[in-house]
Structure 1
Amino acid sequence: MKNSQYILSLILISLLFISCGKEKAEEIQKPKNYTVILDLSDRILLPEQLDKDFYLIEKYFKSFEENSRRNLVLTSKNRFSVKIIPQKNSPLNIDCYEDLLQLYLDETEVKNKNKSLLALSQSLHKTLNALKKEALYGKTTTDYFGVDIWAYLHDNGKALSKCGYDNTVLVLTDGYFDFESQSHVIKEKNQYTSTQFLKELTTNDWKKEAETKQMGLLPITLDKNTKWIVAGISGKQASDILQTEKITYFWKKWLMQSGVASAKIILNGAKSEMSSSLLQQIK
């Protein structure tokens, strides 16, 4: 009787290990969904800003390409896409560039997967150079209305995450939710769809004041398991040395309140430093 119970226990333990092993394998083998959200507002007037953005996009794509080939490109279901936030009065053909800057291997015929991956790898740099020329359609900040990051993610945020995938969203922005006109900004108590409220936080105790008044960005609904990386955060006013810290604080707070479990911030800096931070986050 004892032998039977012992054997039964061994069988149950073995089945448990097998089950756990299968679950772990399934988790490891999840296809990857790489998404870029690009802010082409007046921030791109800063010297070399687009060069930094596009350098990060190329590094991000390289990670997608290597992962797809590592796991056999013919069977890969990985996805890569660049999304451009619409901007009022911009002449840029967003749909055209988004089509050129995406590859969904799960929707690509097996016989065309390697060819399509190679084609995007070879055309990416040239396409980004063309985008740079068209995105810089004005020379002053007043030529750019500003992009509504809050509205874009409110309307599209959950759709950026694909069920059954390991999802990572890279947002390239300085972090501001500002516009030439503030007439459409929504406010609920002390939460906003714009970052204009940062101007009210002028003391060294700004964080305590913000927490007391429950100030911040109005939360939306995002997928919990998607990894978010916000790169390029920087302050606009040299006189406010705490501005970058404030933007970082409120971005993290907003993403967490919106349901995100993993949110990383990469400050604007040298291309090599930003690239190194990005690659560490997407490993």
Structure 2
Amino acid sequence: MKTTHSNFAVTKIFLIIFLLSNSIVHAIEQGKRTPLNYTIILDLSDRVMQDHQLEKDMLLIEEMFKVFETQARRGLILTSKDRFSVKIIPQNGSPLNVNYYENKLQIYLDEVAVKDKNTVISNFASTLPSTLKELLKASKYGETNRDYFGVDIWSYLLNIGNSFEKIGYNNVALIITDGYFDFEKKDHVLKAENRFTSTQFIKKLKGIDWASIANEKDYGLIPITLSSHVNWIVSGIESKNSLDILQTKKITYIWEKWLKESGATDYHFILNSSARQMSSQLLEQL
């Protein structure tokens, strides 16, 4: 009997060691996964004047961070190198302190000491809702379209678009925008034949044959250089012309042509709709 009990005890010990070993190996393998680099680019042009628009924007940011946090914690948080940040395209004349909010809305775990990683991500998660509420209130500073000069998406991505790629990472850039590249002053726009840095040429694409016109006359945005190693998601595209039922197709066409010509190979578009529907479509791409 003693021998039987002894053998059982030894077997039990070996089983425990085996299970613990497998758990450790699994955790290490999870820790070796490709780290995330999530960047959100927020357009704060006159689109913010629409009812509940900013609330939808903030929900997308929160949902994307939830995915980020889940993935960061799935393996060994101590080895996590994941990155999450919210960038704001500068609005000319806006009193918004862009640097203040961008600093509060970024977390780079690869730059955090091992002993602090868990605390940093926990603190970020707990303060994110209040930071976004603060940003929501500060973003709307005018009551008419004239109060908003327009954000320069083209120039912004020209200058820092490639910084959204980090070698060895799973790079995702979410651009939250209505899809328009518009300005109050036309002298801000560059032109090269029928290529522009704004989408004001969309007015020339009329009728059911608008795509043929666009192809024949080569209307579009001036190409820049963007990384093919970034998953570009453009979310919130909508029509500003209620009389043109094809407007969103035109905007999507312009974006797709521009992204493709600029070197992007992985891109997706989400039309402006309910917050939950947009969130669901975003999660499908992450």
Give the Cα separation in 1 of the matches to 2:273 and 2:76.
Answer: 35
For residue 157 of structure 1, give the secondary structure of its aligned residue in structure 2: helix
How far residue 253 of structure 1 moved from its aligned partner, in angstroms, is 1.1
For residue 188 of structure 2, give the secondary structure of its aligned residue in structure 1: coil
Instruction: Report the AA paired with residue 176 of structure 2.
Output: L
- Superposed, 1:87-106 pairs within 5 Å as 87-106=91-110
Contact conserved, 2:202 with 2:250, CA < 8 A, in 1?
yes
How far residue 80 of structure 1 moved from its aligned partner, in angstroms, is 0.1
Partner residue in 2 for 1:140: 144
Give the Cα separation in 2 of the matches to 1:223 and 1:248.
Answer: 19
Instruction: Report the AA paired with residue 202 of structure 1.
Output: K
For residue 179 of structure 1, give the secondary structure of its aligned residue in structure 2: coil
Contact conserved, 2:190 with 2:197, CA < 8 A, in 1?
yes
Alignment of 1:174 with 2:178, yes or no, is yes
- After superposition, the C-alpha distances for 1:162-217 in whole angstroms (9 at most, x for unaligned) are 11111000000000000110102111121110000001111210001101111111
For residue 265 of structure 1, give the secondary structure of its aligned residue in structure 2: strand
Give the Cα separation in 1 of the matches to 2:241 and 2:148.
Answer: 18
- Superposed, 1:80-91 pairs within 5 Å as 80-91=84-95
TM-score by length of 2: 0.88
Alignment of 1:266 with 2:270, yes or no, is yes
1:207 corresponds, among 211, 219, 235, to: 211
For residue 77 of structure 2, give the secondary structure of its aligned residue in structure 1: coil
Instruction: Report the AA paired with residue 214 of structure 1.
Output: D
How far residue 256 of structure 1 moved from its aligned partner, in angstroms, is 0.9
Partner residue in 1 for 2:198: 194
Please say which structure displays the higher CA radius of gyration: 2
1:255 corresponds, among 247, 256, 259, to: 259
Partner residue in 1 for 2:244: 240
1:129 corresponds, among 133, 146, 164, to: 133
For residue 186 of structure 2, give the secondary structure of its aligned residue in structure 1: coil
Contact conserved, 2:48 with 2:54, CA < 8 A, in 1?
yes
Give the Cα separation in 2 of the matches to 1:231 and 1:48.
Answer: 15
- After superposition, the C-alpha distances for 1:12-48 in whole angstroms (9 at most, x for unaligned) are xxxxxxxxxxxxx89x821110000000010011111
Give the Cα separation in 2 of the matches to 1:218 and 1:100.
Answer: 33
How far residue 96 of structure 1 moved from its aligned partner, in angstroms, is 0.3
Instruction: Report the AA paired with residue 89 of structure 1.
Output: G
For residue 34 of structure 1, give the secondary structure of its aligned residue in structure 2: strand
Aligned length in residues: 257
How far residue 72 of structure 1 moved from its aligned partner, in angstroms, is 1.7
1:110 corresponds, among 109, 114, 123, to: 114
1:71 corresponds, among 60, 68, 75, to: 75
Give the Cα separation in 1 of the matches to 2:86 and 2:186.
Answer: 27
For residue 183 of structure 1, give the secondary structure of its aligned residue in structure 2: helix
TM-score by length of 1: 0.89
Instruction: Report the AA paired with residue 151 of structure 2.
Output: V
- Superposed, 1:149-164 pairs within 5 Å as 149-164=153-168
Partner residue in 2 for 1:49: 53
Instruction: Report the AA paired with residue 44 of structure 1.
Output: V
Give the Cα separation in 2 of the matches to 1:188 and 1:109.
Answer: 49
Give the Cα separation in 1 of the matches to 2:270 and 2:284.
Answer: 11
Instruction: Report the AA paired with residue 241 of structure 1.
Output: I
Q: What stretches of structure 2 of length at least 5 have no aligned partner?
A: 1-28
Contact conserved, 2:164 with 2:230, CA < 8 A, in 1?
no
Give the Cα separation in 1 of the matches to 2:224 and 2:50.
Answer: 30
Moved over 3 A (4+): none
Identical pairs, percent: 53
Partner residue in 1 for 2:19: none
For residue 79 of structure 2, give the secondary structure of its aligned residue in structure 1: coil
Q: What stretches of structure 1 of length at least 5 have no aligned partner?
A: 1-24
- RMSD over aligned Cα, in angstroms? 1.2
Give the Cα separation in 2 of the matches to 1:67 and 1:248.
Answer: 30
Instruction: Report the AA paired with residue 61 of structure 2.
Output: I
Alignment of 1:223 with 2:235, yes or no, is no
Give the Cα separation in 2 of the matches to 1:238 and 1:72.
Answer: 50
